[in-house]
Structure 1
Amino acid sequence: MKAIRILINSNIFISLSAVAITVATQIQLGLNPQWHPYLFLIFFATLFEYNLHRLITILTNSDALNSDKHNWVKDRLNWFYLLVLLSVIGFAISVIEAKLKVLLTLAPIAGLTLFYSTPLSKSASGIFRLRQIPFLKIFLISFVWATVTVLLPVIHSEKAYNNFHILTMIIERFLFVFAITIPFDIRDMIADRQAGLKTIPLLIGEKKSIYSSISALVLFFTIAVFHYLITNQWLIISAFTISFLTTIVFLINERIRNLPLYYYGILDGTILLQGVLVLGLYFINLIFQE
């Protein structure tokens, strides 16, 4: 359990989840799952961004280290700074190894991500970040996850794909991430209200927000089933069915929602689970074909 907590609190867990769901994209595209430099790019970019967000919060808010969210860093500041440094070095090396087309695709999305965490201006009223634009936070997070984890494998493969197929994959990924991100905003309602941020839960309330989360997940699954019926990818349908059923239980079960690692372990873990399911069923299918 201690090792799991370290992986989660260091943001290595969410970075591995980003890699797993990107490998799943390879299979959804009809490619064989393979390791490429852009997977390391995604891992280190995710690790850097999530820890940068934490670092900026700590530096700009003296009380942040006392919060449950950042308390893990409090007694491990030197290790945390080392982790940020290693993520920068890893990202730099990955950039050198990645294809130019991949970097050009990633650049504007990475810019949005940095502006999400990095202060854009400072005034008498405080520091302004992109995430403070009303209701933008959840849509920006979902957009970045969807575009990066879908488009980078597409660009790297340099193959021609049906635009409908790619767009539908982006929509599916967006809806899935949107669904599992709403509970984070529900959790942060008090802090967001005090900070003057406008989020969906603050607008429509906790109960309706949970319904919105479930609706987004159902819409994801419905679109995915029709999509992969058309492309005759039963393996993807099977993986997404298990992912959908598991995630919806995590969203509606109150006992699970009260678990200590619910947000950064279970909800973030649904991304990893979906990737592992697609990859696992892919290899199981290969075994039965032999």
Structure 2
Amino acid sequence: MLRQIFNFYINSSIHVALAVVAMTWVSLVQFEIGYDKNVLVFVFFATITGYNFVKYFGVAKFHHRSLAAWLKAIQIFSFFAFLGMCYYTLKLNLNSLIYLAVFGVITFLYAIPLLPMRYFRDSQKNLRQVSGLKVYVIALVWVFTTVFLPLIENGYHINIDVVITGVQRFIFVIVLMLPFEIRDLIYDSIKLATIPQQIGVRNTKIIGILLLVLFFLLEFFKDDIERVDIISNVVMLITTLCFVLFAHKKQFQYYSAFWVESLPILWLIVLLMLS
């Protein structure tokens, strides 16, 4: 029973939603903005809705009547998450809604086969299947959700420090996805052209190390450098580096899906303790 509950927690995207919420909260702490319940709860419900839509749309549309019990439960759960997202959408300001509309379209195109066939290498027609694009689309959406959305909602001026934070977050999310891409080497079509498929596992880890160093060094290009941010970045650099270095194709079942996905939550905990 506990294993089934835990699997539902992972497969229904609750864990990744908490990770996105944590990273959004990190931005609120870094830019000294107070706790924003509306944004954080919206992000939680929107992440569940978006991730489950992308993950299960292709399965559900062809097997609606023969869905496994766990998938039906996730569908019902996602429906209520969607309702929650709609409710908290109404609590956001107009500027936030405009930006959300743009990234809502990206999420839609990521799952729905609408784009012309000539842009793809295989039979799929959605952004998710464009060769080498998946990791960058996900990182871009995470950056908007966790950095720009909370700042726009709170009327924070978008300055150079915000832009640098966005670049750091983009880099960090890409590195977080490397253990997933290494794990999925066994399952992914070669036509997806993921980073490990193109350069191999060893070089992928080297790229991960270099990106983490860049993530850390960018902190010193900000106008406002905080000791707390530097310490928390060091903790995240070391911890994330360990997970990247120990990632391999035959991972423990929850290595990436739970532990790697928990790193943003760790980041928030470290920041709150230091603050």
Match of 2:177 in 1: 181
Match of 1:153 in 2: 150
Match of 2:112 in 1: 118
Match of 2:198 in 1: 203
CA apart distance, 1:7: 2.1
8 Å CA contact retained: 2:131, 2:194: yes
**Distance of 1:227 and 1:84 partners within structure 2:** 41
Quickly say closer, same or farther: Cα 1:272–1:172, change in 2 above 3 A. Answer: same
Given candidates 205, 225, 230, the residue that maps to 1:232 is: 225
Match of 1:213 in 2: 208
**Distance of 2:186 and 2:253 partners within structure 1:** 18
Matched, 1:165 2:167: no
Matched, 1:91 2:47: no
CA apart distance, 1:121: 5.4
Identity of aligned residues (%): 27
CA apart distance, 1:257: 7.5
Structure 2 counterpart SS, 1:42: helix
8 Å CA contact retained: 1:116, 1:130: yes
Match of 1:102 in 2: 96
Match of 1:55 in 2: 56
CA apart distance, 1:275: 2.2
Structure 1 counterpart SS, 2:124: strand
8 Å CA contact retained: 2:205, 2:244: yes
**Distance of 1:21 and 1:279 partners within structure 2:** 12
Match of 2:271 in 1: 278
Quickly say closer, same or farther: Cα 1:210–1:88, change in 2 above 3 A. Answer: same
- CA offsets per residue over residues 58-104 of structure 1, 9 Å max, x none? 23677xx9xxxxxxx84413311111211211111111121111111
Q: Please say which of residues 44-53 and 109-118 is displaced more in the overlay.
A: 109-118
Amino acid at match of 2:174: F
**Distance of 2:180 and 2:187 partners within structure 1:** 11
Q: Please say which of residues 249-258 and 134-143 is displaced more in the overlay.
A: 249-258
**Distance of 1:136 and 1:119 partners within structure 2:** 15
8 Å CA contact retained: 1:243, 1:277: no
Match of 1:21 in 2: 23
CA apart distance, 1:253: 2.5
Say how many residue pairs are matched. Answer: 267
TM-score (norm 2): 0.88
Amino acid at match of 2:224: T
CA apart distance, 1:193: 2.6
Q: Please say which of residues 172-181 and 130-139 is displaced more in the overlay.
A: 130-139
Matched, 1:222 2:217: yes
Match of 1:288 in 2: none
Indicate the RMSD between aligned Cα atoms, in angstroms. Answer: 2.5
Match of 2:135 in 1: 138
CA apart distance, 1:174: 0.4
**Distance of 2:69 and 2:87 partners within structure 1:** 29
8 Å CA contact retained: 1:23, 1:279: no
**Distance of 1:255 and 1:202 partners within structure 2:** 13
**Distance of 2:261 and 2:62 partners within structure 1:** 25
CA apart distance, 1:137: 0.9
**Distance of 1:257 and 1:173 partners within structure 2:** 28
Structure 2 counterpart SS, 1:205: helix
Quickly say closer, same or farther: Cα 1:255–1:212, change in 2 above 3 A. Answer: closer
**Distance of 1:132 and 1:255 partners within structure 2:** 23
CA apart distance, 1:238: 1.5
